[in-house]
């Protein structure tokens, strides 16, 4: 999540890193709740009419990330009017953005049969103004080692995806100990991009796939829940004009995955179509990358420390009208909890910021009331 001039675009992430995205339950999911359209929730919507509100918010984050700017680049909030300030048309940059979106949609419709092949990133790529001259020096530098955008095969001489997963299970404590972990309750702190102080966080999880994270803020709690079939975010008005937002599409799949991965004994069944491994590096750490597929067909890449075998990064995607937005979760500070190694630090990077959770205590196999995974909680 990112706090920008007093506002935090919590809406697309529902972090707390509880975005835990088949299906490990036999019950049939209930019909999905109708998602409100952007124009039903926000004012002065012009080019995103008919787009679900959550996808609209994800699109705003996509633009922010593509141009490497904050929300206030297009939405000055000096008037103190809260969310109403975002609706104003007193900034030329906002009108320019509308023209750029129309241009992008026109290119994709005319030349790519409506597929999203050209996005904001195609021209901006981290700059608020597209470059018009090539950077010659960049062409002659030795490129850094990196894996393909999507893993399609196993690299020559590299272990298979199954071998990587088996090593991970052993590194955590072995299948017997992992299978014995059925619940946990954790507490610690969270801090988001732009915040000055850490605030309390609580996590409650129950196997095979229920998870709730509660972030304390000065404006009230932010509660992100996946109950095994559905997911939602409850947030105070300062962070969202929607008091409760139901997760759908890629966000829901991500919430399910994170809930499932909270109990790694079931990691092999969490995704399908495993591929890899591909060797690469994260800084000075050599890692092996494997890829699986979520129920919606989107790829998920998992990065494992080559030496320890532990999971150090997850990368997944959420579809927006402007292209795929990336979610990256880094895991660190593994400690022993009832014979199982668990990460006490997680850092989420997403389309509008960064959120870090540092846990102080994790209690395994404790009784957790079913109300922790109910919509009525605050």
Taking only the tens place, the pLDDT of each residue in 87-133 is 887 777 777 888 888 888 888 888 888 888 888 877 887 776 776 55
Q: Are 208 and 24 in contact (CB under 8 A)?
A: yes
Question: From CA 46, how far away is CA 359, in angstroms rounded?
Answer: 43
pLDDT at 335: 97
pLDDT at 134: 52
Q: Which residue, 304, 265, 56, 307, is CA-closest to 181?
A: 265
Q: Which residue has the higher pLDDT, 131 or 337?
A: 337
DSSP 37: B
At residue 176, does pLDDT exceed 70? yes
Per-range mean pLDDT, top range of 27-36, 118-127, 174-183: 174-183
* Percentage of the chain exceeding pLDDT 70: 83
Q: CB within 8 A of 83, min separation 6: which ones?
A: 7, 42, 241
Question: What is the average pLDDT value for the chain, to the nearest integer?
Answer: 81
Strands 323-337 and 3-4: unpaired
The rounded radius of gyration (Å) of the Cα atoms in the chain is 21
Q: CB within 8 A of 18, min separation 6: which ones?
A: 203, 211, 212, 213, 224, 225, 226, 255, 258, 259
Q: Are 223 and 378 in contact (CB under 8 A)?
A: yes
Question: From CA 294, how far away is CA 253, in angstroms rounded?
Answer: 7
Question: From CA 279, how far away is CA 36, in angstroms rounded?
Answer: 43
Q: Across the strands, what pairs with 189?
A: 200, 358
User: 376 pLDDT band (50/70/90 cuts)?
Assistant: low
> Average of pLDDT values for 18-30?
37
3-class secondary structure, 254: helix
Question: From CA 100, how far away is CA 123, in angstroms rounded?
Answer: 11
Give the lowest-confidence range in 192-196, 280-284, 342-346. Answer: 192-196
**H or E segment at 177?**
helix 175-180
Our count of domains for the chain comes to 1
Q: Which residue has the higher pLDDT, 182 or 222?
A: 182
Give the lowest-confidence range in 16-20, 147-151, 170-174, 242-246. Answer: 16-20
Global pTM?
0.73
Alpha helices, DSSP H only, in 8-160?
Answer: 38-41, 53-67, 83-86, 92-111, 120-123, 136-140
Give the range of the structural domain holding residue 202, as residue numbers without chain letter.
Answer: 1-378
Instruction: Kindly report the number of other CB atoms within 10 A of residue 114's CB atom.
Output: 10
pLDDT at 227: 92
At residue 9, does pLDDT exceed 50? no
pLDDT at 34: 78
User: 352 pLDDT band (50/70/90 cuts)?
Assistant: low
**Tokens 């960064």 -> residue:** 354
User: 149 pLDDT band (50/70/90 cuts)?
Assistant: confident
At residue 300, does pLDDT exceed 90? yes
Whether the bond between 45 and the residue before it is cis, its omega within 30 degrees of 0, is no
Q: What does the longest C-alpha to C-alpha distance in the chain come to?
A: 61
Question: From CA 248, how far away is CA 34, in angstroms rounded?
Answer: 10
> Average of pLDDT values for 245-253?
86
User: 53 pLDDT band (50/70/90 cuts)?
Assistant: confident
Give the lowest-confidence range in 223-227, 271-275, 321-325. Answer: 321-325
pLDDT at 142: 36
Q: Read off the CATH number of the domain in which 289 is found.
A: 2.50.20.10
């Amino acid at each position: 999540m990112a706090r920008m001039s007093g506002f935090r675009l919590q809406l697309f992430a529902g972090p707390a890193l509880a975005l835990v995205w088949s299906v490990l339950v036999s019950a049939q999911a209930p019909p999905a709740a109708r998602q409100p359209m952007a124009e039903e929730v926000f004012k002065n919507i012009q080019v995103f009419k008919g787009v679900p509100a959550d996808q609209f918010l994800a699109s705003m984050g996509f633009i922010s990330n593509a141009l490497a700017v904050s929300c206030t680049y297009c939405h000055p909030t000096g008037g103190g009017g809260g969310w109403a300030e975002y609706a104003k048309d007193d900034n030329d940059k906002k009108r320019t953005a509308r023209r750029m979106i129309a241009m992008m949609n026109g290119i994709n419709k005319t030349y790519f049969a409506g597929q999203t092949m050209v996005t904001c990133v195609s021209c901006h790529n981290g700059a608020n103004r597209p470059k018009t001259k090539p950077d010659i020096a960049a062409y002659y530098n030795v490129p850094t080692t990196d894996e393909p955008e999507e893993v399609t095969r196993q690299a020559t001489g590299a272990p298979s995806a199954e071998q990587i997963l088996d090593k991970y299970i052993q590194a955590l404590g072995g299948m017997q100990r992992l299978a014995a972990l059925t619940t946990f309750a954790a507490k610690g702190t969270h801090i988001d991009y732009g915040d000055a102080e850490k605030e309390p966080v609580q996590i409650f999880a129950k196997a095979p796939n229920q998870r709730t994270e509660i972030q304390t803020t000065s404006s009230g709690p932010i509660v992100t829940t996946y109950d095994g079939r559905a997911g939602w975010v409850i947030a105070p008005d300062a962070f969202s004009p929607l008091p409760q937002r139901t997760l759908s599409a890629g966000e829901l799949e991500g919430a399910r995955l994170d809930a499932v991965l909270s109990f790694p004994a079931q990691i092999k069944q969490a995704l399908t179509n495993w591929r890899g491994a591909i060797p690469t590096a994260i800084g000075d750490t050599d890692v092996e990358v494997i890829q699986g597929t979520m129920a919606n067909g989107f790829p998920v890449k998992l990065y494992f420390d080559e030496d320890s075998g532990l999971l150090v990064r997850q990368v997944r995607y959420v579809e927006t009208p402007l292209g795929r937005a990336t979610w990256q979760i880094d895991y660190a500070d593994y400690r022993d909890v009832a014979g199982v190694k668990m990460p006490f630090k997680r850092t989420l990077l997403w389309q509008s910021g960064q959120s870090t959770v540092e846990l102080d205590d994790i209690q395994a196999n404790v009784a957790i009331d079913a109300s922790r995974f109910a919509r009525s909680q605050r």
